[in-house]
Amino acid sequence: MTIAVTGATGHLGRLVIAKLKEKVAPSDIVALVRDPARAADLGVEARAADYEKPETLEKALAGVDRLLLVSSNAIGQRAVQHRNVIDAAKKAGVKEIVYTSLLHADTSPLTVLAEEHVATEAALKASGIPHVILRNGWYTENYTGSVPGAVQAGVFAGSAGEGRISSATRADYAEAATVVLAGEGHAGKVYELAGDDAYTLAGLAAEISKQTGKDIPYRNLPQAEYAAVLKGVGLPEGLAEAIALFDVGASQDGLFDDGHQLSTLIGRPTTPLADAVAAALKA
């Protein structure tokens, strides 16, 4: 069985490729990337595939049995990009697609993100190709990436209020994808994947304070003010606005789930927040 992974040189894709190589022969894995030269270190076959260039996709998917469609990061363009991949997969005879969607996509208050995931899930259903939906919750790294800056500034800012965040690390989600890709009996299932233990951003700030020995309080800001802070530290306007909006969704428990489907799927507890903070402080 040949397994292909889109976005294979991205943060998640690289982790999935590495995990897959522990379960199946590298000769059975294909990395789908825009620039195959960037995938030279993955140790598997790399094929040129661009979400926005349908003519590259059917050729890249030739002979592929199972495909991991890692969602694009091009917000606003993803539904079309994903449909291009699904259409090409059907033409190429791909037997199963595994898709990385969003936690509770059909009810999520993070509507800007959710709408395109819902559209992709609908396109998968319409395609008739057997598929698995991995509704990934938030990556812990989405927040711990800000830890060094928070330590420097002496404050962790956000707009998530008291919202509960059930995040897990990229490695946790990559392991779940690998379990599904290398296993059997998952077709037709929708997995709501999230971390075992929820925290608030105040709790995250407390963990940073504990590990650094410094007082790093959480400062909750109105959405517009938080977006302005993000722009002030160099983020592009669109990205800053989006991050602030996602935090507002988090304040409504849009990133919370206590079903423990992720830890059940991978057969171990998800990575504790304390470990993720420690890793961010060492980076």
pLDDT per residue as tens digits for the range 232-274:
989 999 999 999 999 999 999 999 999 999 999 999 999 999 9
**DSSP bridge pairs for 4:** 30, 67
Query: pLDDT digits over 149-176, tens only?
Result: 999 999 999 999 999 999 999 999 999 9
**pLDDT computed for residue 277 by the predictor:** 98
Q: How many CA atoms lie within 13 A of 217 on its CB side?
A: 3
Residue 176 CA from chain centroid, whole number: 11
Q: How many CB atoms lie within 10 A of CB 85?
A: 28
For residue 103, give the H/E element and its range.
none
98 three-class SS: strand
The pairs formed by 53-61 with CB atoms below 8 angstroms and a separation of 24 or more are: 54/84, 54/87, 54/88, 57/84, 57/85, 57/87, 57/88, 57/89, 57/92, 58/88, 58/91, 58/92, 60/4, 60/30, 60/32, 60/88, 61/4, 61/32, 61/88, 61/89, 61/92, 61/94
The answer to whether residues 9 and 39 touch, using CB atoms and an 8 Å cutoff, is yes
Phi-psi region of 111 (alpha: psi -120 to 50; beta: other; left: phi over 0): alpha
179-225 residue pLDDT tens = 999 999 999 999 999 999 999 999 999 999 999 999 999 999 999 99
Contact 15, 9 (CB under 8 A): no
How many percent of the chain have pLDDT more than 70? 100
Give the sign of the dihedral formed by CA 219, CA 225, CA 230, CA 232.
negative
